[in-house]
C-alpha cells in the first residue's frame, strides 16, 4: 500500500518550509554558519522531538530556524523539500514561510524570499513541480507587526499567492488580525488561516467571517459544531488536515481517534498534508499511510483525498 500511495499524484497545501528542516541539514547549516548548537548530535536533536502541545513544538521549531541565515540556506531548505515532493509524486505544492521568524533576527526579507523563490523556480523547471508561496503572519505577535510584514511584502507582490496565519493559536483569535487581512485582500491576496487546530470552532467562524479565508488550515475541531460542519460542507471549503502533526501535538491521543475519514464521508473537502514533516515523522505519503494503517483508509478514500488536494489548489 505504501508504494501505491506514494505513486498517487497529489498536491500538498499545508507545509511550513521551516518545518521541513531535517536534523541533518540543520546540523550542516549550523556548521556552515559557525553556530553552536545545544544538542550533541542529530540523534540527540531527534530525541528532543516529543511534544505535549503546539507550543512545545513551536519553541523548538523557532530555535531550529535560527541556523537559516543566508539566501543559500533558504535555497537548500526549499530544494531539499522539493526533492521529497518529487520522490512522493507531489506534483503541486503551496508552502508557507514565516518571514517574521527571520526578519526579527535581522535576516533581510529579500534574503529569505530570494532563496525560497529561486528553489521554487528550479523546482518548476527541473522537477516539473508547480508551486505557489504563502506568506504567513505569526499570530503570537501584534497586528501592527503583521502590517509591517505586509509592507515588506508588497514590493514583491507577484511572489505570493496568499497570506496565512500560524503559530500559537490559543489566545490569538483570527479577529486580532482582521484589519491586516482586510488590507491584504484589498491588495489582491487570497487569505487562508490556521484555525481549529487547538482552538475552538469559534475561531474557525471568525477566520471565515472576519478574515474571509478560502481554505481552513487544520480545522479538525469543526466537528464539534454541527452548524459549522453544515457550512463547510455546503460551501465546500477545503480543510488542509495534517494527521501526523495532530497526533504528535496531542490534538488526538492516537491516530485511531482522528476524524479525517469521518469528515471525508460526510462530504467535507478534506486533504492530507504534512505540516512540519521533519518534526512529525513523515512527509505526505507517510501521512496517507498512517491513515491506512490505523483507520483502515481504502484505496477509494485515498483517491478522493488526493483528488481533493488537486481541486483545492489556489493556483
Select 18 or 275, whichever has its Cβ closest to Zn ion: 275
Q: Is 194 in the site for ligand ADE (CB under 6 A)?
A: yes
The yes-or-no answer on residue 197 being catalytic is yes
Q: Is 276 in the site for ligand ADE (CB under 6 A)?
A: yes
Q: Is 286 in the site for Zn ion (CB under 5 A)?
A: no
Least Å distance between CB 296 and ligand ADE? 25
Q: Is 99 in the site for ligand ADE (CB under 6 A)?
A: no
Q: Is 19 in the site for ligand ADE (CB under 6 A)?
A: yes
Q: How many CA atoms lie within 13 A of 94 on its CB side?
A: 28
Q: Which of 73, 76, 98, 275 binds Zn ion (CB under 5 A)?
A: 275
Work out the number of other CB atoms within 10 angstroms of the CB of residue 89.
16
Q: Is 54 in the site for ligand ADE (CB under 6 A)?
A: yes
Among ligand ADE, Zn ion, none, residue 19 binds (CB under 5-8 Å by kind): ligand ADE
Select 73 or 166, whichever has its Cβ closest to ligand ADE: 166
Region binding Zn ion by CB under 5 A among candidate stretches 85-93, 132-140, 228-236, 268-276: 268-276
Residue identified by cell 544538542 is 39
Is 92 annotated among the ligand-binding residues?
Answer: no
| Contact set for ligand ADE, span 204-263 (CB under 6 A) | 245
CA distance 256 to 287: 13
Select 206 or 276, whichever has its Cβ closest to ligand ADE: 276
With beta carbons less than 8 A apart as the criterion, state whether 207 and 193 touch: yes
Among Zn ion, ligand ADE, none, residue 71 binds (CB under 5-8 Å by kind): none
Is 276 annotated among the ligand-binding residues?
Answer: yes
Q: Is 286 in the site for ligand ADE (CB under 6 A)?
A: no
Q: Please give the size of the binding site for ligand ADE, defined by CB under 6 A.
A: 11
Cell representation of residue 21: 528542516
Taking CB atoms, the residue at the shortest distance from ligand ADE is 166
Cell representation of residue 307: 483528488
Least Å distance between CB 194 and ligand ADE? 5
Select 71 or 276, whichever has its Cβ closest to ligand ADE: 276
Least Å distance between CB 276 and ligand ADE? 5
HEC sequence for the chain: CHHHHHHCCEEECCEEHHHHCCHHHHHHHHHHCCCCCCCCCHHHHHHCCCCCCHHHHHHHHHHHHHHCCCHHHHHHHHHHHHHHHHHCCEEEECCEECHHHHHCCCCCHHHHHHHHHHHHHHHHHHHCCEECCEEEEECCCCHHHHHHHHHHHHHHHHHCCEEEEECCCCCCCHHHHHHHHHHHHHCCCEEEEEECCCCCHHHHHHHHHCCCCCEEEECHHHHHCHHHHHHHHHCCCCEEECHHHHHHCCCCCCHHHCCHHHHHHHCCCEEECCECHHHHCCCHHHHHHHHHHHHCCCHHHHHHHHHHHHHCCCC
Select 167 or 259, whichever has its Cβ closest to ligand ADE: 167
Contact residues: Zn ion, CB under 5 A: 275
Residues in the annotated binding site: 14, 16, 194, 275-276
Annotated catalytic residues are 197
Contact residues: ligand ADE, CB under 6 A: 16, 19, 54, 61, 166-167, 194, 197, 245, 275-276
Amino acid at each position: 500500500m505504501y508504494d501505491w500511495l506514494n505513486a498517487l499524484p497529489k498536491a500538498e497545501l499545508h507545509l511550513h518550509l521551516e518545518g521541513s528542516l531535517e536534523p541533518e541539514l540543520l546540523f550542516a547549516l549550523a556548521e556552515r554558519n559557525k553556530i553552536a548548537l545545544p544538542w550533541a548530535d542529530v540523534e540527540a536533536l531527534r530525541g528532543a522531538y516529543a511534544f505535549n502541545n503546539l507550543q512545545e513544538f513551536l519553541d523548538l521549531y523557532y530555535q531550529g530556524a535560527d541556523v537559516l541565515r543566508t539566501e543559500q540556506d533558504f535555497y537548500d531548505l526549499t530544494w531539499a523539500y522539493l526533492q521529497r515532493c518529487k520522490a512522493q509524486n507531489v506534483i503541486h505544492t503551496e508552502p508557507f514561510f514565516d518571514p517574521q521568524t527571520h526578519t526579527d533576527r535581522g535576516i533581510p526579507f529579500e534574503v529569505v524570499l530570494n532563496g525560497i523563490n529561486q528553489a521554487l523556480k528550479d523546482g518548476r523547471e527541473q522537477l516539473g513541480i508547480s508551486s505557489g508561496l504563502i506568506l504567513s503572519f505569526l499570530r503570537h505577535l501584534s497586528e501592527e507587526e503583521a502590517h509591517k510584514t505586509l509592507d515588506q511584502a508588497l514590493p514583491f507582490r507577484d511572489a505570493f499567492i496568499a497570506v496565512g496565519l500560524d503559530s500559537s493559536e490559543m489566545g490569538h483569535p483570527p479577529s486580532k488580525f482582521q484589519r491586516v487581512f482586510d488590507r491584504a485582500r484589498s491588495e489582491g491576496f487570497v487569505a487562508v488561516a490556521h484555525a481549529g487546530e487547538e482552538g475552538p470552532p469559534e475561531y474557525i467562524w471568525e477566520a471565515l467571517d472576519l478574515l474571509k479565508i478560502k481554505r481552513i488550515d487544520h480545522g479538525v475541531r469543526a466537528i464539534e459544531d454541527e452548524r459549522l460542519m453544515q457550512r463547510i460542507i455546503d460551501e465546500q471549503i477545503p480543510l488542509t488536515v495534517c494527521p501526523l502533526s495532530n497526533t504528535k501535538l496531542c490534538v488526538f491521543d492516537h491516530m485511531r481517534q482522528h476524524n479525517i475519514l469521518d469528515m471525508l464521508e460526510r462530504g467535507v473537502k478534506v486533504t492530507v498534508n504534512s505540516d512540519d514533516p521533519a518534526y512529525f515523522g513523515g512527509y505526505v505519503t507517510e501521512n496517507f499511510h498512517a491513515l491506512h494503517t490505523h483507520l483502515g483508509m481504502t484505496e477509494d478514500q485515498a483517491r478522493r483525498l488526493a483528488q481533493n488536494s488537486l481541486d483545492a489548489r489556489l493556483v
